[in-house]
Amino acid sequence: MNFKFINNLIVIPVEINGVELSFLLDSGVNTPILFNLSENDSVDLRNVQDIYLRGFGDGEPIRALKSTYNRVKVKNIYNNNLDLYVILDQKINFSPRLGIPIHGIIGYDLFKDFVVEINYAAKRLKFYDPDNYKYKPCRKCDDFELTFYKNKPYIDLSADFSGNKDVPVKLLIDSGSSDALWLFEDDQERVSVPNAYFEDFLGRGLSGSIYGKRARVDNLHVGKFTLKDAKVAFPDSTSLVFVKRYKERNGSLGAEILKRFNMVVDYPHGKLRLKKNARFADSFKYNMSGIELQHNGIRVVRELQSRYQSAIKNDDNNSGAVEIVLNRTYAYSLEPALEIAEVRKNSPAEEAGLKTGDVILRVNGKDSHRYSLQEVMEMLQDKEGKRIQLLVDRKGRRLKFQFELKKLL
């Protein structure tokens, strides 16, 4: 089956009890989670009970529902006995940051019974019966043993950073993280923040916003493959209290690294095969503007439509002259409002005066709705020194700002 690939994340259609929804394929979750359901997405849930969930973030536990004996369908794959969680908090919503509706995340239940080939280059998934799957000889591939904790896959790698060489790290394979590499500070394990770093917003978890430090590792050794200057984030310790229950875990391997390989994910046999693809050599880029964007509501867009019309002009001289008339009309449409969700301290955007809640109307002279959210985000990590001009709506006032992208690492 084909998948959509947005902000490094795999999005697939999943049918729950007869209703087709959009899900992230997330190897970092052991039970499917539903959220962001509207009246149009009404799903008949079975055998429901109240529970509380915790995840990344320093907030309070969130109330959820646990539902059992649900029917799930992914193309021709069926499961009539699926447990899932339903998050009721409307603030837990990935859709604004991705620019398309996302209703849930699914992982272990889709991986556990199959050998799954993930072709990031072709944006395609293939599912195989593990009893009949045969590994082909592949000199350009590397094979890894997976270990599991609470149905989540871990891999053993090593990295060079902070003056240390070949630091062993056990990482959760997390295809649901759009980031590259997360490490948890631990002096005893030689996992420490490099001298060159900056403070940043890292994302949202189930338990709230996550902040921490961003830096680079000199090298990340993925078997026989080496990634240089890979991005790394060190979440604040307050965000980790309820997620580092597996004491051997040192962090997460996210999709910005995974996308550089085509993968064979084999939960039944505890194996992972990696083969680098055309994205392997791509540089690791940071957002150099300091702003995070999201869709928040809609706005009315008025666009001028001019059209010339010609007509034969009748006059007393019967000259047959042609009169050219310019008709000015306006077309109105409803477009997603592109809003600034976070502004990093001391960033070019903050120094220019931009604020959380500003709605971006134009980017470098072009209407913002002409771009996808991801296209605008890519502009903000283009190259150092590039000038960005923004027209924003701030509580009914139209304001102009400009700044230059600044490299921090």
> Could you report the per-residue pLDDT of 151-168, keeping only the tens digit for each?
999 999 999 999 999 999
Assign residue 226 the CATH number of its domain: 2.40.70.10
In a domain, 283, yes or no: no
Would you state the pLDDT for residue 74?
94
Q: Cβ of 342: how many Cβ atoms within 10 Å? A: 19
Residues sharing a CB contact under 8 Å with residue 218, sequence separation 6 or more, in sequence order:
159, 160, 161, 228, 229
Which of 68, 92, 119 delimits the end of a domain? 119
- The answer to whether residues 271 and 298 belong to one domain is no
- The answer to whether residues 165 and 259 belong to one domain is yes
CA 45 to chain centre: 27
How many separate domains does the chain show?
3
- The answer to whether residues 269 and 306 belong to one domain is no
> Could you report the per-residue pLDDT of 196-217, keeping only the tens digit for each?
999 988 887 766 678 899 999 9
- The answer to whether residues 158 and 202 belong to one domain is yes
Would you place residue 192 in the very low, low, confident or very high pLDDT band (cuts 50, 70, 90)?
very high
- The answer to whether residues 99 and 212 belong to one domain is no
Would you place residue 46 in the very low, low, confident or very high pLDDT band (cuts 50, 70, 90)?
confident
> Residue 110 corresponds to which tokens in the numbers above?
């889709």
- The answer to whether residues 147 and 92 belong to one domain is no
Which of 208, 243, 276 delimits the end of a domain? 276
Q: Tell me how far apart the alpha carbons of residues 295 and 251 are, in angstroms, rounded to a whole number.
A: 29
The pLDDT mean for the chain works out to 87
285 or 306, greater pLDDT = 285
End-to-end Cα spacing for the chain = 38
If you write DSSP's letter for every residue of 158-177 in order, what string do you get?
EEEETTEEEEEEEEEE-TT-
- The answer to whether residues 168 and 81 belong to one domain is no
> Could you report the per-residue pLDDT of 118-141, keeping only the tens digit for each?
999 999 999 999 999 999 999 999
Q: Of 202, 107, 203, 220, give the one whose Cα is nearest residue 153.
A: 107
Q: Are 58 and 239 in contact (CB under 8 A)?
A: yes
Tell me what percent of the residues of the chain surpass a pLDDT of 70.
84
Q: Tell me how far apart the alpha carbons of residues 118 and 124 are, in angstroms, rounded to a whole number.
A: 6
Which of 75, 93, 119 delimits the end of a domain? 119
In a domain, 124, yes or no: no
Q: Are 171 and 157 in contact (CB under 8 A)?
A: yes
Structural domain harbouring 320: 291-404
